[in-house]
Amino acid sequence: MPTLLEVQTAMRCSLLGSGDAAVAPTLGDALTPADRLSVYRNTSRTALTNALRLNFPAVQRLVGKDFFAAAADAFISHNPPNTAWLDLYGDGFPEFLQSFEPATGLIYLPDVARLERAVGRALHAVDAKPLEYSQLLHIEASVQGRVRFIPHPSVSLVFSRYPVDAIWRAVLARDDVTLATIDLSAALTVADDFDAAAWLAAHLAAGHFSDFTLSDSENPVVAEHPQ
């Protein structure tokens, strides 16, 4: 008689499409093994596909429901969830889309997915009190160059060659007119007259930092960001 771990491992392989032979002997006689496994497999696939739809709504609207379902099915087979909490399922979906051959025509699609992944992390981030400007007033001038700002848990960086924020907003707003006029070469660039002080003040005012530390070496003020 197989152990519980052996049954669970065989069931996992079956749900991910690796065959029913190993787990079929452990099932009862009310339904055929194939029918019983089909119920579990379909329920599992539907739940995971719906989780991806909720986590990547703009991606689905860009490619359509049928295309998205096919992409989700391929992704799920090789990237099952590692936790029962599905609100953040799909960490590897942007990278999957990068190599998914049917999606190569939409060159900005993986970056839109990366932006949606960042939005999801922000939505479900733990609560943290933003850094208050008053906490910086008493830093001695001699160590100001060692200040390193720690981002709020909801903050992350998305690097892209394309204006994915504009694409994302237009898609979710169903604004086809704006979407059609977006210049794919108009991604954000750093201007020659970039004002670091103004940039830092804007992020402080927006509550994008939760704390700060002093680095071991003398460096310009920088913002750390999560990977």
Give the pLDDT score at 220.
46
Give the pLDDT score at 161.
92
Sign (positive or negative) of CA dihedral 94, 183, 208, 221: positive
pTM over 0.85: no
Residues in the chain: 227
**For every one of its 227 residues, what pLDDT tens digit does the chain have, with 9 covering 90 and above?**
667 677 677 767 766 765 655 555 555 554 566 666 677 778 888 999 999 999 999 999 999 999 999 999 999 999 989 888 898 899 999 999 999 999 999 999 999 999 999 999 999 999 999 998 888 888 888 888 899 999 999 999 899 999 999 999 999 999 999 999 999 988 766 666 788 889 888 999 999 999 999 988 655 444 444 43
**DSSP states along 60-121:** HHHH-HHHHHHHHHHHHHH---SSS-GGG--TTHHHHHHH-GGGTT-TTHHHHHHHHHHHHH
Give the pLDDT score at 41.
76
Going through the chain in order, the beta strands assigned E by DSSP cover 147-151, 209-214, 222-223
Give the pLDDT score at 79.
93
Give the pLDDT score at 37.
67
